[in-house]
Structure 1
Amino acid sequence: MRYLAMRFVDDGLFGEIPEELRFYIDYEAIARDLAVDYSETEIAGTRLIYRCA
C-alpha cells in the first residue's frame, strides 16, 4: 500500500506538492487510508493491488 500511496502522490492525485515538502508526507498514513478501498495479493511472485469497491 505504501508503494500505491507514493504513486498517487507522484501522479498528482493529492494536487501539486512542492519537492521541498515531500519529505514531510506520511506515506504510511496514506497507505492505511488506502487499505480501506484497496487490497493486495501476490500471485506467482507478482504483487497485485486492486480496488475493492
Structure 2
Amino acid sequence: MGIYAVESLKELAEQLVDEGLYGDIPENLTYYIDFDAIARDLSVEYTETSIAGGRYVYACR
C-alpha cells in the first residue's frame, strides 16, 4: 500500500502483476489477464487524483 505515480488504476494493476503481487505468471499468459477487472477490485481500496499536473493512485484506507 502506498502512493503510486501512475495514470490509472489499470496501470497500477499492470504494475502489480509485473512486480509479482499475483504470483509468478508466465509472460505468454499475461495477454489473458483482465487488467480492467483487477482495476475495479483495486478501486475498493485505492483512488486516483491529480497533484501539480501529475497523476497518482493511493490507498484510501
Gaps of 5+ in 2: 1-8
Give the aligned partner of residue 22 of structure 2: 14
Please, what is the CA RMSD of the aligned residues? 0.5
Q: Structure 1: which 4+ aligned runs deviate by more than 6 Å? A: none
Q: Pick 1 or 2: higher relative contact order, CA cutoff 8 A, min separation 6.
A: 2
TM-score w.r.t. the length of structure 1 is: 0.96
Identity %: 57
Give the aligned partner of residue 47 of structure 1: 55
Q: How many residues align?
A: 53
Q: If each structure's helix is expressed as a fraction of its own residues, which one has the higher value? A: 1
Gaps of 5+ in 1: none
